[in-house]
Structure 1
């Protein structure tokens, strides 16, 4: 028996493994391999647990890393923008930081927590 055979009906190569021919399948490689940040990792975990079909489709098409990197960038930009806007609206300024540092820290922590919840709802768990 031949080690490899080609099936013209479906265009696949098969490799002999024991007594069976197994299709030679290779996942496509992504062009760029950028590191995935915190938000991308959280969205990946959400996809794996709750949107399995979307995760498998992205993985097998070779677009998962690019997609997660994009989600991470969007979430990071949104966090910075929201924190800045909320701080300006609520009067959490550098002046407050100098005069009452503990109050400033508490208010900024509250703002960051609200911004994270918005990002979770709008980007990560969507």
Structure 2
């Protein structure tokens, strides 16, 4: 009997009752990158709204590295925007020492705006 393409590539089968099922596994991810909160949120967005993209990334074995890259980009962008907005609005350590409640209000406002920008332009895009 002639070998199938799967068998020629080194694949094997396992017998399950009357059927032979191919032994399939995803390619091993060479680098184990941690996926943070931004990457997890983008993953959930892909699962719910971009199912074809999610499946393609998952089956090609590139999902974890893709999510780690998105997470890194989002974190850098968020940090840079918070820093720039704080400088622009004069939210400094001096204000923190003089009026802590006002500093907390302003910094929380800045962080929330930066999060919305990252969500809109990177995570949910």
TM over 0.5: yes
Root-mean-square deviation over aligned CA pairs: 1.8
Which structure has the highest strand share of the two? 1
2:120 corresponds in structure 1 to 121
Post-superposition offset of 1:22: 1.5
Name the TM-score, length of structure 1 as normaliser: 0.89
Post-superposition offset of 1:9: 7.8
Post-superposition offset of 1:24: 2.2
Q: Residue deviations 1:83-123, cap 9 Å, x none? A: 01101111111111111111010000000000000000111
Report 1:23-62 matches (<5 A).
23-62=22-61
Unpaired runs of at least 5, structure 1: none
Evaluate the alpha carbon distance shift between residue 9 and residue 43 of structure 1 in structure 2; reply closer, same or farther with a 3 A threshold. Answer: closer
Q: Residue deviations 1:2-49, cap 9 Å, x none? A: xxx941488454332111121222211100112211111111111111
1:103 corresponds in structure 2 to 102
